[in-house]
Structure 1
Amino acid sequence: MAGSVNPSSDSSPVPIWVAYLGLVLTPLFWAGNAVVAKGAVGEIPPMSMSFWRWIIALAILLPFGLPGVLRQRTVIRQHWRSILALATFSVGAFNSLLYLAALTTSAINIALINATIPIMVALLAWLLLGDRTRPLQALGIALAIVGIITVVARGDLAVLTGLQAQAGDLLMVLAVSSWGLFSVLLRRQAVPLPPLTFLTVQIATGALVISPFYLTDLLFISGGFELNQSTALPMLYFAIFPGILAYGFWNHGVHRIGPSKAAIFMYLTPVFASVLAGIFLGERLGPPHLVGGALILAGLVLATRSRKVH
């Protein structure tokens, strides 16, 4: 996921169907991120997932992104505070919280709560930037919040009143809030860098932000993980598919068809996650998932129809 850009005139030599295919694959990769994290979290500590995912992604990107970083080093020095803030809330916090959430909640819950990112962006833009909120958008935000509460409470009001919500669900709310802050800051503190250069610097800075937390976890808590086939494959997946490819497909899709149309494809994330979690993890949709998911979907449709988000 990444900040939006204005769609260009359709003069790209790449066929438009490639953009649509990429926008279908992007939520599939994001859903896979939740499912693979849930499946691997018993062998790979969450902070190791987060740190090594971005180190691998950086190693793959660096040969392509480093020349631009060197050319733009003056701009990078001028905007280092903005870059640090943006990298902290996106690369640093978002996936770290998501992987921590996988310890105590289901892949389906992760995907459902993650799908509310456009709602969180709209809510924070209203609170922090004073963006105008139309009645239809406010209704959409309210419905989505009720949907999140339904999923977190698992259909039992006592879960909320007794403060018994799964820690992972609450961590996912924090993760979504972190991405919302990133999106709002991206509008307020845009960094004038080419996309590949910005992504390279963003990942490198985010990895530095994660590193002290990873080292603390490695030395005093988890002890890291053993590198073998069952751990190497998930790490490669995290770096390549929901990392580099999803970012690239999302940016290209937004560029070709516009942010409001591209945002609709985010609705596929919980659908894909439900299927993948059922196949690989044996998770099943229950009534709270269906009711909460329907409310979240209705809220997303209303909110994104009334304004462009993400």
Structure 2
Amino acid sequence: MQVQPRWTKFAILLPLVAVFIWSLNITVTRYVTDYISPVSISFYRWFVAFIILTPFMLKTVWQQRELIQRYWKQLAVLSAFGMVLYQGLGYTAAHYTTATNMGIINAFIPVFTIAVSFMLLKDIPSPYALIGCLISFTGLLFVVAQGDFSNLLQMGGHLGDIMMIFAVFFYAFYGVFLKKWQLQIPLLLSLYVQIFFALLYHLPFLLYLGIDAINMQNAPSVFYAGIFPSLIAPLVWMLAVQQLGPNRTSIFMNLTPVFTALIAYFWLGEQWMFYHSIGTVMAIGGVILAQRKVKG
């Protein structure tokens, strides 16, 4: 379904809104590190989303129980990669790196997806994809090394960036599994069941590490994470894909580092350094190059 031309300019706002919400959440993740543990906010995020969705989804879950039974194993795997490993590592990484770095590393999801697609689906990347991946990965190392590749030898100082790289790598698996399985299940139902599994996965960590209480300092961040990036942004993004198409919509993800850096600059006082500029340009340039098709 495509929107009428006169509405196109308004449809373009949809992916912008979604990317802004996700970018703000990266900054929120960094901000709240002093007030709540990673496992606590990760659990509360999905718990809030689950509580909000439940009144609207219980009837659908019962009606679609056979469909859920058919796909529950795949949904459990998707939840593990997309909601627990990716988000959990992201919340932990925020304790050791900046929101700006997290936003830039997040922009490498398309590049990691190419690598994982080759591993799992045997999708042979085009020459453009290989060159684009090389450019993007060099840019990633440049950001982690803070503009001096010799700094990479001091691995202890890059713990947060390394965690975020693994988080992005796991999220690439999430996207590839979605492509591989092509689950014939309504998107909102899929999201709800994945959130349910995410809550189950958190239980052993909560029993071992404990859970922080929600208080006046962390409550706004918890409820923001549970509502906006968990529910509103995905729905807005899906609507954008429906109206603009997947390829046109995906381009807007390249704005994540820019939005995150601007928010972190004004809110957290983080500085945008020259290596951030170079790394971002290389990341975006590499992704655009990787998406080019070979003329045949």
Q: TM-score range by the shorter chain?
A: over 0.9
Residue number in structure 2 paired with 1:110: 102
Residue number in structure 1 paired with 2:83: 91
Q: Summarize the alignment of residues 249-260 of structure 1 with structure 2, pairs less than 5 Å apart.
A: 249-260=236-247
Deviates more, 1:229-238 or 1:119-128: 119-128
Q: Summarize the alignment of residues 51-62 of structure 1 with structure 2, pairs less than 5 Å apart.
A: 51-62=43-54
TM-score by length of 2: 0.94
Q: Could you tell me whether the CA contact under 8 Å between 1:26 and 1:246 is conserved in 2?
A: yes
Q: Distance in 2 between matches of 1:263 and 1:290?
A: 21
Q: Does 1:48 align with 2:25?
A: no
Q: Summarize the alignment of residues 220-231 of structure 1 with structure 2, pairs less than 5 Å apart.
A: 224-231=211-218
Q: Summarize the alignment of residues 173-188 of structure 1 with structure 2, pairs less than 5 Å apart.
A: 173-188=165-180
Q: Distance in 1 between matches of 2:181 and 2:207?
A: 30
Deviation string, structure 1 residues 141-177 (Cα, Å, up to 9, x no partner): 1111111111111122232234334111011111111
Instruction: Give the letter for the 2:97 counterpart.
Output: T
**1:213 Cα deviation from its structure 2 partner:** 1.6
Residue number in structure 2 paired with 1:294: 281
**1:196 Cα deviation from its structure 2 partner:** 1.1
Q: Distance in 1 between matches of 2:206 and 2:10?
A: 37
**1:203 Cα deviation from its structure 2 partner:** 1.1
Q: Could you tell me whether the CA contact under 8 Å between 2:133 and 2:290 is conserved in 1?
A: yes
TM-score by length of 1: 0.90
Deviation string, structure 1 residues 49-107 (Cα, Å, up to 9, x no partner): 11000000111111222222111111211222111111100112111111000000000
Q: Distance in 2 between matches of 1:237 and 1:114?
A: 20
Q: CA RMSD in A?
A: 1.7
Sequence identity of aligned pairs in percent?
32
**1:15 Cα deviation from its structure 2 partner:** 4.4
Q: Summarize the alignment of residues 194-273 of structure 1 with structure 2, pairs less than 5 Å apart.
A: 194-218=186-210, 224-273=211-260
Q: Distance in 2 between matches of 1:18 and 1:71?
A: 35
Residue number in structure 2 paired with 1:171: 163
Which runs of 5 or more structure 2 residues have no equivalent in the other structure?
Answer: none
Q: Could you tell me whether the CA contact under 8 Å between 1:86 and 1:182 is conserved in 2?
A: yes
Q: Distance in 2 between matches of 1:195 and 1:29?
A: 20
Q: Could you tell me whether the CA contact under 8 Å between 2:113 and 2:176 is conserved in 1?
A: yes
Q: Distance in 1 between matches of 2:293 and 2:88?
A: 32
Q: Distance in 1 between matches of 2:208 and 2:111?
A: 34
Residue number in structure 2 paired with 1:5: none
Residue number in structure 1 paired with 2:145: 153
In the superposition, relative to structure 1, how do residues 149 and 165 fare at CA in structure 2: closer, same or farther (>3 Å)? farther
**1:278 Cα deviation from its structure 2 partner:** 0.6
Q: What is the count of residue pairs matched by the alignment?
A: 293
Q: Could you tell me whether the CA contact under 8 Å between 1:125 and 1:184 is conserved in 2?
A: yes
Q: Distance in 2 between matches of 1:17 and 1:247?
A: 20
Q: Could you tell me whether the CA contact under 8 Å between 1:66 and 1:197 is conserved in 2?
A: no
Q: Distance in 1 between matches of 2:190 and 2:11?
A: 21
In the superposition, relative to structure 1, how do residues 112 and 74 fare at CA in structure 2: closer, same or farther (>3 Å)? same
Q: Distance in 1 between matches of 2:155 and 2:218?
A: 34
Residue number in structure 1 paired with 2:270: 283
Q: Distance in 2 between matches of 1:9 and 1:275?
A: 32
Residue number in structure 2 paired with 1:119: 111
Deviation string, structure 1 residues 168-197 (Cα, Å, up to 9, x no partner): 101111111111001111122232211111
SS state at 2:155 partner: coil
Instruction: Give the letter for the 1:67 counterpart.
Output: K
Which runs of 5 or more structure 1 residues have no equivalent in the other structure?
Answer: 1-7, 219-223
Residue number in structure 2 paired with 1:131: 123
Q: Distance in 2 between matches of 1:303 and 1:294?
A: 14
Deviation string, structure 1 residues 33-59 (Cα, Å, up to 9, x no partner): 111111111111011111000000111
**1:202 Cα deviation from its structure 2 partner:** 1.1
**1:226 Cα deviation from its structure 2 partner:** 3.8
